[in-house]
């Protein structure tokens, strides 16, 4: 079990960095590309929201262990290891789309 856990952590935590960079670039892209609109946004409440959103995104990312660990310990391990990148790609794409939606629909209209 230790080998399986180490393999999962090594695989997913390296990709978590890229995941967080992508989401940070989405956020920064919105700020830079719409700067006059977001010029009043850097408040304590806005920064608190950003921190909560970043934590929630990483909690969602951690859900991958619920899929990965059982499959790593199953007879399907070899096949699963070939498809893990696809799961990462789909999850990251979902987070990318969700982040854009959240900013465009829930944050952008209310910032003055």
The dihedral through the CA atoms of 79, 81, 85, 90 has a sign that is positive
pLDDT above 70 (res 15): yes
Span 25-36, average pLDDT:
88
Crossing angle (nearest 10°) for helices 77-101 and 64-72: 170
Average per-residue pLDDT for the chain: 89
Q: C-alpha distances in angstroms, 76 versus 11, 35, 73, 93?
A: 17, 49, 8, 25
**Domain ranges across the chain:** 2-110
Is-contact 14 85, C-beta < 8 A?
no
Model confidence at 77, pLDDT cuts 50, 70, 90, reads very high
Span 60-87, average pLDDT:
95
Predicted local distance difference test score (pLDDT) of residue 106:
74
Is-contact 80 72, C-beta < 8 A?
yes
């Amino acid at each position: 079990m230790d080998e399986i856990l180490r393999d999962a952590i090594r695989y997913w935590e390296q990709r978590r960095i890229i995941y967080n960079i992508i989401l940070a670039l989405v956020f920064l892209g919105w700020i830079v590309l719409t700067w006059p609109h977001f010029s009043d946004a850097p408040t304590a409440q806005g920064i608190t929201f950003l921190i909560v959103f970043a934590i929630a995104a990483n909690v969602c990312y951690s859900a991958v262990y619920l899929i990965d660990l059982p499959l790593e310990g199953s007879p399907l391990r070899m096949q699963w290891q070939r498809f893990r990148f696809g799961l990462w790609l789909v999850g990251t794409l979902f987070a990318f789309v969700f982040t854009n939606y959240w900013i465009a629909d829930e944050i952008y209209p209310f910032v003055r």
